[in-house]
Amino acid sequence: MEDTRAGALAPEAVDELTASFSKDRANRVARNAVTSANVLPAARSVTAMRAYRDTFGVSRPRTGKVTNQRHSGRCWMFAAFNVARAATMRLLDVDDFEFSQAFGFFYDKLEKFNVGLERIIETAALPVESREVSGLLEHAMGDGGYYPAAMGIIRKWGLVPKDAMPESACTKDADQMNAQLERLFRKSACELRRRAAEGAGTDELRAEKDRMVAQCHQVLSVCLGEPPRTIDVALPVGRHCAVDPARLVEVEGDDRADQRDGADGGPRRMLVDRGITPREFAERYVPFDPDDFVELVNVDLPEYPFGRIYHPLRTEAAAEGPAIHMFNVPVEVLEDAAVASLRAGVPCWMACDVSQQFGRRLEDFPGVLACDTMDVEGLFGVDLSMSRADMLRNRETRTTHAMTFQGVQLGEDGRPEAWRIENSWGEDACKDGYLVASAEWYRTYGGEVVVRREFVPEEWLRRYDEAEVVDVEPWSVVSAAFPRKD
């Protein structure tokens, strides 16, 4: 029996569409190209791609080796640590340095487990089907995060060099570890909710939670190795290294490529500091204030006025914060702050919807983010255009990836024309690990940077200090525009 309900597809009408498709030459060409090469390779505009080059008027010359987050969602942490390492590289006068992201990963997961169960206790009276509890059960142990979460790790747990806690199989591919952590979290949540329903008080529930957090620590230690409580530092440094001279020793016969001193007859030096804690390492060798930042976003919607700070509820990665405060500003203010940071030689943490119009694996033009390089509409013969406002409201775009701005090309009017972006997918990805994004693309699919307070335009910094903080639900439009970065 045919389905005659209103709105049902009519087989005859679909058959007619199928029969008429191949009568059009453009349809045949597009079909053959896409079925052979896939959508983006077939849609790329070679002429437009050629216009984008990795040359910038404002660019940081000493950026360090491109890092690699592998198959994990730690982009936000890699990008934040790449900002912090710039200060360490200047202090030590070296061309490269890398912090241990495995160390940060360990404590991020442990903090998420703890604060997630705290929220389970707080919402114990709500139905498990409620949006709040469902969100906790689904997302509490994800890899994603924000810049403030990385600053919280530095402030509370410190930092260590990469070799003090190197990558493991579970950092290079986090899926299997995450599956076990998520199961442990949900089992723990179930037990806490059951105990709450039986009448257990908050103190009793927290005692149970502490036992569960210890189990999470055990799983993390098995997967990542135990985080070091103390480390021995021994690093080659440059002639202009500005650390305590008592911790510098001269060495002979060290001709490693990363040791730049001595080429002109000067002494080769090493920084030696033994038995220090990760917090002591951060205090001594990361001249970087984790509290000195402003998170700027651009959500140009009338329901979210500029000049307000938006705080997505239940998004802090640790029980004591820091809180996520997104200051909504016009895009020009966001750009001016990023440019000021780069002009001062300070890399700028940024986030964007990296999958939009991006031919990531194109062999000829692998590192270009632009609005005119992928003619998908011409390929399909379908209008896919949407305004940024419509894309935000309807969840077509949201920031999915965090990286760092390392350079910018300014036009004659002083406004950005293109950005140089350091990624965290390794040197073999994109163009030697870097991306070039047109200003139009970033205004369309970006909209978030983090800068030091000094780089925010004076008028807007004053407004930030006086701004109202507005709590919003994690599923609101402004929160959905800037979810946890993966």
User: For every one of its 486 residues, what pLDDT tens digit does the chain have, with 9 covering 90 and above?
Assistant: 455 678 899 999 999 999 999 999 999 999 999 999 999 999 999 889 888 888 888 999 889 999 999 999 999 999 999 999 999 999 999 999 999 999 999 999 999 999 999 999 999 999 999 999 999 999 999 999 999 999 999 999 999 999 999 999 999 999 999 999 999 999 999 999 999 999 999 999 999 999 999 999 999 999 999 999 999 999 999 999 999 999 999 987 655 444 454 444 556 899 999 999 999 999 999 999 999 999 999 999 999 999 999 999 999 999 987 889 999 999 999 999 999 999 999 999 999 999 999 988 887 888 999 999 999 999 999 999 999 999 999 999 999 999 999 999 999 999 999 999 999 999 999 989 999 999 999 999 999 999 999 999 999 999 999 999 999 999 898 887 665 544
**Residue in the block written with tokens 């058959």:** 15
Residues linked to residue 369 through DSSP beta bridges, in sequence order:
358, 437
Strands (E), 321-400: 326-328, 348-352, 368-369
Three-state secondary-structure class, residue 97? coil
Euclidean distance between CA atoms 276 and 282, whole angstroms:
10
Euclidean distance between CA atoms 243 and 284, whole angstroms:
8
The structure tokens listed for 383 are 């209008």
In this structure, the strands spanning 401-410 and 368-369 are: unpaired
In this structure, the strands spanning 294-297 and 326-328 are: parallel
Give Cβ neighbours of residue 464 (< 8 Å, ≥ 6 apart): 294, 309, 327, 456
**DSSP at 233:** E
Query: Is the entire prediction scored with pTM above 0.85?
Result: yes
- Helix H or strand E segment including 270: strand 268-276
- Structural domains present in the chain: 58-62+292-481 (3.90.70.10), 75-224 (3.90.70.10), 232-285 (no CATH)
Name the amino acid, one letter, at 396: E
SS3 content of the chain, % helix, strand, coil (to 5): 40, 15, 40
Distances (CA, A) of 148 to 335, 373, 446: 20, 34, 18
Q: What is the CA radius of gyration of the chain?
A: 25
